[in-house]
Structure 1
Amino acid sequence: MATNLAIDPDLLDRALEVSGERTKKAAVTKALQEFIARRQQKRVLDLMGKLDWDHSYDYKAERSRK
């Protein structure tokens, strides 16, 4: 899917430099992948303290279960 975007050239140059990618497309793709990964991690962190912990759960017993 071809998409035309007006990206700040200074930002794109900095992205190329810090990413180590050789092409603009690769730098933008990597930036988008990292953006998505960080947002997904943030959603997991937002759950901290909101989930109930089952203190009777024995993870070692579950490992040996076949």
Structure 2
Amino acid sequence: MSKRLVDIDDETLRQAQQVLGTVTIKETVNAALMGTIQSSSRQAVSRESLRRFSEAARDLKDSSVMAQAWE
């Protein structure tokens, strides 16, 4: 683990602590960084899921395919 010297806006820190339920600066920064990583992962999964759904849903527009679905 490395020590870093950064300037952090006090009001932004306070709001982040409130949202994240953290107390210390270290907790808050680490929680925010992990949240960013997790959010990015969820977004990538969501985009992939949406792409797969879009491909699968193409048949919904095809009347011959849909007619066979009800036979």
Q: Shorter-chain TM-score: which interval?
A: 0.5 to 0.7
The structure showing larger relative contact order (alpha-carbon pairs under 8 Å, at least 6 residues apart) is 1
Task: Point out the structure with max Rg over C-alpha.
Answer: 2
Equivalent positions of 1:1-66 (< 5 A) are: 1-51=2-52
Extract structure 1 runs of 4+ deviating beyond 3 A.
49-53
Instruction: State the alpha-carbon separation in 1 of the partners of residues 32 and 8 from structure 2.
Output: 13
- Counterpart residue type for residue 18 of structure 1: V
Offset at residue 38 of structure 1 (A): 0.4
Any unmatched runs of 5+ in structure 2?
57-71
- Counterpart residue type for residue 8 of structure 2: I
Quick one: percent identity of the two aligned structures? 25
TM-score (norm 1): 0.66
Change (3 A) 1:48 1:23: same
Offset at residue 21 of structure 1 (A): 1.3
Instruction: State the alpha-carbon separation in 2 of the partners of residues 16 and 49 from structure 1.
Output: 33
Any unmatched runs of 5+ in structure 1?
54-66
Q: CA RMSD in A?
A: 1.8
Aligned length: 53
Instruction: State the alpha-carbon separation in 2 of the partners of residues 18 and 44 from structure 1.
Output: 24
